[in-house]
Structure 1
């Protein structure tokens, strides 16, 4: 008696839509890398407040009370300062926060600006 191994099948998606990720390049000098950058959070009407607080705690190392204060400032004023970091650290923290938000299906957004 012989046993036949089943041949695996490949299922193609039912859509012809291809999503191309948006890539943004930032060119910055070594001098600018040394300067501090402000991380600013923007308010949106979709991301739950408790999720925002958790992202601030996890990715920016904030205590709960401070994270709540920043979240409420952004909620009422449209944006709030999260912290000031060297450029690469700020960029890494924002990337990680955006990644967690997108994976959870939320449009939570941060941006960087030079701290002058």
Structure 2
């Protein structure tokens, strides 16, 4: 079993620009602690996903190490990431790719 860790860049670059037109994403990462059934439960409970969507996202987390679970304004994605932390899941926020 491999565990994907969030890619955290310790160096803040002042030459990088944030494009305000691009949405942001909440990413949930695989961890060695939470059961797959619990992750499905969290996705259903918090995001309101139907069972099929919650299971597909959980399987992406499990097999690919991460899954984008939500996309929208930065502030909302930060709230979602904090909520995932409150549920005991690893989550980060990133700007959506171009």
TM-score (norm 2): 0.70
4+ residue runs of structure 1 moved beyond 3 angstroms?
31-35
Instruction: Point out which structure has higher relative CO (alpha carbons under 8 A, 6+ apart).
Output: 2
> Which runs of 5 or more structure 2 residues have no equivalent in the other structure?
1-17
Matched, 1:68 2:49: no
Separation in structure 2 between the aligned mates of residue 91 and residue 58 of structure 1, nearest angstrom:
18
- Superposed CA RMSD: 1.9
Alignment correspondent of 1:110: 91
Question: Could you tell me the TM-score, scaled by structure 1's length?
Answer: 0.61
Structure 1: stretches of 5+ with no match in the other structure: 1-30, 102-107
State the distance in 2 between where 1:66 and 1:111 align: 20
User: Which residue of structure 1 aligns with residue 78 of structure 2?
Assistant: 91
